[in-house]
Structure 1
Amino acid sequence: MEKFIVSARKYRPQTFDTVVGQSHITTTLKNAIKSQHLAHAFLFCGPRGVGKTTCARILAKTINCLHATPEGEACNECTSCVSFNEGSSLNIHELDAASNNSVEDIRTLVEQVRFAPQAGKYKVYIIDEVHMLSSSAFNAFLKTLEEPPSYAIFILATTEKHKILPTILSRCQIFDFKRITNNDTVEHLQEICVKEEVNAEKPALQIIAQKSEGCMRDALSIMDKIVSFTGGVLNYQNTLEHLNILDAEYYFKILGAMQAQDLGTVLSLYDDIDKKGFEGDLVLNGYAEFIRNLLVCKDEKVAHLLTVVESFKDKYIESAKSVSASYLISALNILNEAELQFKAARNKRLHVELTLIKLTYLQQAISLAAEDADPAKKKLVDQARPVAFKNIPGIQSVKKEKPAAAKETAVPVQPAKQSEPVQAPAASAPTIRTTMPATTMVAPPPAATTATVSAKLPKLNSLNKIRAEVAHQNTGKVVYSAIDLSEESLRVCWEDYTQLLRDEKSSAASPFTLAERRIIDHETFEVWVTDNVQKQFVEHERRRLSEYIQGRFHNRQIKYSVHLDPNAVSAVSDVVVPPTTKEQYIAIVEQYPLVNELRERLNLGLDY
């Protein structure tokens, strides 16, 4: 009886051309071999089962081939290739870093590097799962990896690139392997099935490719297992059964029952699924993937993301037309929450059934929400009207007060964005006007002069009406001119503010009394203090003091700065410093000598 060899080993690629799905790497390596531009260290990284170790072996065999082809492939006929294929080559050394990750293992490897190859051009060292090396082993390997002999080439392979030290990465030429696509996996499986004379259906191979998730080794292992189980027949049904995958037909039936809001049919279908031994989380995950595929079919731009069996593609596209995108998105949210809460649920079946009940009546909930929202949308579209602004309390209160003097007052109004200005009757009451400098302060108008004449104005829309009323209100305001700074006026203002601080019992009153003021111009002055404490008190009151002074002089441009006079003598001449603990004890001992004698008899220490 011939010994069985699994497909992953039997059909391992022997040349670069037979490597599946990694053309960007094999082409680069072949060109490097042809042009003799080989690096001394390579790092192959990527997911499991995508050909990292295989490419490392092919590279090691090809660079030692005695009769390499013009395309950069090994001939598989010379003594070097034959010895490599038989596993007896002395120029190629493989090390599993997962089980040989100590410093001693790396030192042994470094000792072997010193010896030149007896036959062939290069000695190739393939270190698999290199991320398992310890930090000490990495450090012991650094010097050799950076400056190896001309005949030594290192090929490192790993699935976890982020675990490798940056000093190692910087010394290697890095190649990133990608996951193998489903189409490439299916084509490779079909070739093997033809060679092995296995009757395989394409939908079954597509299911295997999806289950392998881009790993060719897993795909070959799954296919071997199913072929052994079925006796050489690989069809869609036994593949689903062996991989414990629920048929998509169940999901289509459940979706149809949910659209009809037939809860009994939905629960019956789930009961059939449960009797077949499928766990609830598997059902939730599978139905979520089914809903995701339907959502992908809704948009032609992302239709290429649909990864299902080809025989079901048309059915997915047809079913997606009958379901709204809002339903699919809401269903995905419900299923996602249900999956997250599945482990915490005590009654797993009830948890899944509650989720299915929510999904059954989800369309009704979406419809009710849409009906509640439609009337408001229709009202805004069908009956356009201006925006309703909030009532301004100041204007409303003015409207209620209509003194006799205000009834006879009229001011010309220029509403915003009106084609013709609206003119009111001439005003009989005088208007207070004062020529204002560049900076002014406006005082609130008396109640008698702020009456509105909105009753006499023509009808305007809400926004223009408010603007007109505000214009009338501002017209009657009393305007005060700004007062220039002077020594006397600033002194009076400063003393008034200082008195205010005294009334508040603020600590800043004393520094304000001692501060000196120097006027720079009609809008600027300086405050000079004698120490930092006074300066901090004055700076602390800056915001309130500025508002107070600007209000007194009716000028918002007045500003000041605080300076420390280095030549001034502080008003506080004697500062009382409290005595330290040691000084207090010495004073007590001088007054009461027996205290020291008591301390010595009791053998007490001093803690100053």
Structure 2
Amino acid sequence: MDKFIVSARKYRPQNFSTVVGQSHITTTLKNAIKNNQLAHAFLFCGPRGVGKTTCARILAKTINCENQTNDGEACNTCNSCVSFDAGTSLNIHELDAASNNSVDDIRSLVEQVRFAPQAGKYKVYIVDEVHMLSASAFNAFLKTLEEPPPYAIFILATTEKHKILPTILSRCQIFDFKRITNDDTVEHLQEICDKESIKAEKTALHVIAQKSEGCMRDSLSILDKIVSFTNGALTYANTLEHLNILDEDYYFKLLEYLQDQNLSDALLMYDEINRKGFEGDTVLEGFAEFLRNVLVSKDAKVAMLLEVAEDFKQKYLQAAQKVSTAYIVSALNVLNESGIQYKQAKNKRLHVELTIIKLSYLQQAIELVGNEDGLSKKKITDGAKAIAFRALPVTKAKIIEPQPAAVAKPKVPATEAKLIIQEPAPQVKPAATVNKQPASNGGTPSLASLNKLRQQISKQAQAGDGGIKPLTIDELTTCWEAFIEKLKEKKNPAAITNFRNAQLSIVDDYSFDIVADGELPRKFIDNERAELITHLQNHFNNKQLVYSIKVVENKENTQPAERQLNTKEQYQRIVDEYPLVKELKDRLRLQLDY
């Protein structure tokens, strides 16, 4: 029984022409070989599994080939090519920098470079995962990499170019490998299936290509697993089952339910998906990708971005004609926010169900409207299926003299109904004017209460206007002393002292200033604000009386206090005054701990 070899090794490309999806790299290398313009150092960088190490080995094999073809390929028949394929060539050295990343490993590599090849033109050194080298190892490699012997060629391979020192990058020719497209992957997998006599559906191979995300090695590994799982017959159904991918038919049905606002069937479908073992985040991400494909299908210009199997393209085109762009854009936004919040949700199932509920009633909530600035979202109020609430009448109440009934007020839409009550002006009209207002018995209940409020305010104003005391410094001082007496009864000596030290100055007939000699006195006075303002307004019978507190720093208080001396300064002052103390310390050889 022959030993099994995985497809990634068995079908590894042996020539530049068999490399998949990297024609821009292989063409450049073949032309450099034909024109004898090879650089002494190459850097192959790109994602995993796209052919970096494979191209490095093909390059090393081709430049030592004894019978190169006209298009720059190796013959695969000469002694050099045969020994290379057998793994016995002495002109090719591979170093795994992930496990050999020290300075000693690089020094041993540099020592080997001194020896010329016994057979062939070049000695090729392939350093894989070169970004794993330490900084000192990079520095030890710099000189040799910059000026190697004419027969030495270095090929560095890495998946993380940003981790390599700029001094290394400047000494190499850099080749950026790209991800392999789904079409190229499907074509290569089909060739392997034909060679291995494997029956595979095109849709199944397309699912494998999407799952590998541009990595050929991953796609070949997935192919080997599914072949073992299905006993050599790849179908769309068993491929989805093995890769734990949700069938796109579920998304088509779910979109149809959401468009019809059939919430019950949509929730039942999610329950069926959940019972099959699919997590909620998988459903959210898969449905978001599905809606993205539907959005792409709406425009023929970007239809080339639709990376799905040929059997599903027609379904996507039909679904795109039934769904509006506004719904797709809004649904993608909802799914994006729901996916971000999924990890924080305690009840995962409820979180996904709430998202389905939002998507079910989303189309009656918004629409996209074109204007001068482009597309913008607009709320839909017509045709909404939500419960219709009775619009409240507009009521605006102002405490002013009512206008004649003949004056018509402008109509306001029901959606802008507000109740605005403005504060009364400081000066209220006399009672004679108030008595002209209509009786409350003939109006609505709200107007009757407003009439009562007007009469009450008018009476208070009449009672206040007759007994207001003028604000003079003598009267203010008398009121101030009376309040200090109240503080004495409360036994608050700190506040009494600060109130006595405060100075009063009148600003106008309704306000005065309290001048405090610091921030602390201001706080003591401000603590009594509520009781003080009541006392002042009652004494002067004036509800409009106000005051403000100003702080004026006392010059005596602002003088800096004498700083306390530390132990070293105290000792120095004692020595200055009594020199014998220092002499005593020196004789006894004392060490002072300051």
- Flag whether TM exceeds 0.5 (same fold): yes
CA distance in 2 between counterparts of 1:22 and 1:204 reads: 24
Unaligned segments of structure 2, at least 5 residues: 368-376, 384-561
Deviation at 1:52, TM superposition (A): 0.4
Q: CA deviation at 1:303?
A: 1.7
Identify the residue that residue 306 of structure 1 maps to in structure 2: 306
Does 2:215 align with 1:248?
A: no
Map 1:70-469; keep pairs closer than 5 Å: 70-366=70-366, 370-372=379-381
2-side partners of 1:155 and 1:302: how far apart? 39
Shift of 1:370: 3.5
How far apart in 1 are the matches of 2:137 and 2:12? 31
Give secondary structure in 2 for the equivalent of 1:205.
Answer: helix
Q: Which residue of 2 aligns with 1:27?
A: 27
Secondary structure of the equivalent of 2:366?
A: helix
- For residues 360 and 43 of structure 1, the distance between their equivalents in structure 2, rounded to whole angstroms, comes to 52
Where 2:124 maps in the other structure, the secondary structure is strand
Residue 371 of structure 1, CA deviation = 3.5
Distance 1:598 1:36, change over 3 A: closer
**Aligned-residue offset at 1:322:** 1.5
Task: Tell me the equivalent position of 1:66.
Answer: 66
In structure 2, distance between residues paired with 1:40 and 1:333: 51
1:359 counterpart SS class: helix
Q: CA offsets, 1:456-515, max 9 Å, x none? A: xxxxxxxxxxxxxxxxxxxxxxxxxxxxxxxxxxxxxxxxxxxxxxxxxxxxxxxxxxxx
Distance 1:32 1:369, change over 3 A: closer
Tell me whether 1:48 sits opposite 2:48 in the alignment: yes
**C-alpha separation in 2, matches of 1:260 and 1:152:** 69
**Alpha-carbon separation, structure 1, partners of 2:128 and 2:20:** 20
Counterpart of 2:140 in structure 1: which amino acid?
Answer: A
Q: Whole-Å Cα distance in 2 between the matches of residues 356 and 264 of structure 1?
A: 10
Q: Which stretches in structure 1 are left out of the alignment for 5+ residues?
A: 375-577
How far 1:292 sits from its partner (Å)?
1.0
Aligned partners of 1:583, 1:62: CA distance in 2, in Å? 84
Structure 1 residues 165, 373: closer, same or farther in 2, change over 3 A?
Answer: farther
Shift of 1:299: 2.4
Give, in whole Å, the separation in 1 of the partners of 2:80 and 2:130.
Answer: 26
Cα deviation code 1:220-239 (max 9, x no counterpart): 11111111111111111111
**Partner SS, residue 43 of structure 1:** strand
1:196 deviates by: 0.8
**Structure 2: distance between partners of 1:365 and 1:191:** 50
Instruction: Identify if the C-alpha distance between structure 1 residues 583 and 33 changes in structure 2 by more than 3 Å, giving closer, same or farther.
Output: closer
Distance 1:264 1:130, change over 3 A: same
Q: 1:208 Cα deviation (Å)?
A: 0.8
| SS class of match (1:277) | coil
Q: Percent identity?
A: 73
For residues 257 and 149 of structure 1, do their structure 2 counterparts lie closer, same or farther at Cα, with a shift above 3 Å needed?
same
**CA deviation after TM superposition for structure 1 residue 351, in Å:** 1.0
- Between the aligned partners of 2:166 and 2:67, the Cα distance in structure 1 is 38
> Could you tell me how far 1:298 is from its partner in structure 2?
2.1
| Letter matched to residue 291 of structure 1 | L
Q: Deviations over 1:85-110 (max 9, x none)?
A: 11110111111111111111111111
User: How far 1:600 sits from its partner (Å)?
Assistant: 8.0
Listed one character per residue, the Cα deviations across residues 148-198 of structure 1 (whole Å, up to 9, x for unaligned) are 111111111000000111111111111110111111111111111111111
Aligned to 2:4: 4
> Is the contact made by 2:33 and 2:63 (CA closer than 8 Å) also made in structure 1?
yes
Partner secondary structure for residue 75 of structure 2? coil
Structure 1 residue 308, shift from structure 2 partner = 1.4
Determine the C-alpha separation between the residues in 1 that align with 2:227 and 2:147: 50
**CA deviation vs aligned residue, 1:202-243 (integer Å, no higher than 9, x gap):** 111111111111111111111111111111111111111111
Q: Distance in 2 between matches of 1:600 and 1:222?
A: 87
**What is the CA distance between 1:4 and its match in structure 2?**
1.1
Once residues 33 and 77 of structure 2 are traced to their aligned partners in structure 1, the CA distance between those partners, rounded to angstroms, is 18
* Residues 597 and 48 of structure 1: CA distance in aligned 2, closer, same or farther (over 3 Å): closer
Rate the CA distance shift 1:604–1:96 in 2: closer, same or farther, 3 A.
closer
CA distance in 2, matches of 1:147, 1:137: 17
- 2:104 counterpart letter in structure 1: E
Structure 1 residues 172, 373: closer, same or farther in 2, change over 3 A?
Answer: farther
Cα-to-partner distance string for 1:257-310 (whole Å, 9 max, x where unaligned): 111111110010001101111111101110110111111122232221111121
In structure 1, C-alpha distance between the alignment counterparts of 2:592 and 2:178, rounded to whole Å = 76
Q: Give runs of aligned pairs for residues 585-604 of structure 1, distance below 5 A.
A: none
* Equivalent residue pairs, number: 403
- In structure 2, C-alpha distance between the alignment counterparts of 1:82 and 1:584, rounded to whole Å: 92
CA deviations 1:510-529 (Å, max 9, x no partner) are xxxxxxxxxxxxxxxxxxxx
Q: Which stretch of structure 1 is more off in the superposition, 338-347 or 69-78? A: 338-347
When the two chains are superposed, the root-mean-square deviation of aligned CA atoms in Å is 2.9
- Letter of the structure 1 residue corresponding to residue 194 of structure 2: V
Amino acid at match of 1:124: V
Q: 2:91 is matched by which residue type in structure 1?
A: N
SS of the equivalent of 1:362 reads coil
TM-superposition CA deviations, 1:442-469 (whole Å, max 9, x none): xxxxxxxxxxxxxxxxxxxxxxxxxxxx
Q: Which amino acid aligns with 1:17?
A: S
Q: 1:373 to 1:166 in 2, by over 3 A?
A: farther
For residues 365-396 of structure 1, the C-alpha deviation after alignment (integer angstroms, 9 at most, x for no partner) is 2269544499xxxxxxxxxxxxxxxxxxxxxx
Q: Work out the CA distance in 2 between the residues paired with 1:586 and 1:20.
A: 86
Relative to structure 1, the CA distance from residue 595 to residue 97 in structure 2 (aligned partners, 3 Å threshold; closer, same or farther) is: same
TM-score for the superposition, normalised by structure 2: 0.64
Alpha carbons of 1:594 and 1:48: their partners in 2 closer, same or farther (altered >3 Å)?
Answer: closer
Q: Which residue of 1 aligns with 2:461?
A: none
Letter in 1 for 2:63: I
> Contact (CA 8 Å) 2:575, 2:582: kept in 1 or not?
no
| 1:344, distance to aligned residue in structure 2 (A) | 1.4
Provide the secondary structure at the position in 2 that maps to 1:206: helix
CA contact (8 A) 2:364 2:380 kept: no
Q: What letter is aligned with 1:11?
A: Y
Deviations 1:524-563 (A, max 9, x none): xxxxxxxxxxxxxxxxxxxxxxxxxxxxxxxxxxxxxxxx
Which amino acid is the alignment partner of residue 115 of structure 1? F
Amino acid at match of 1:172: C
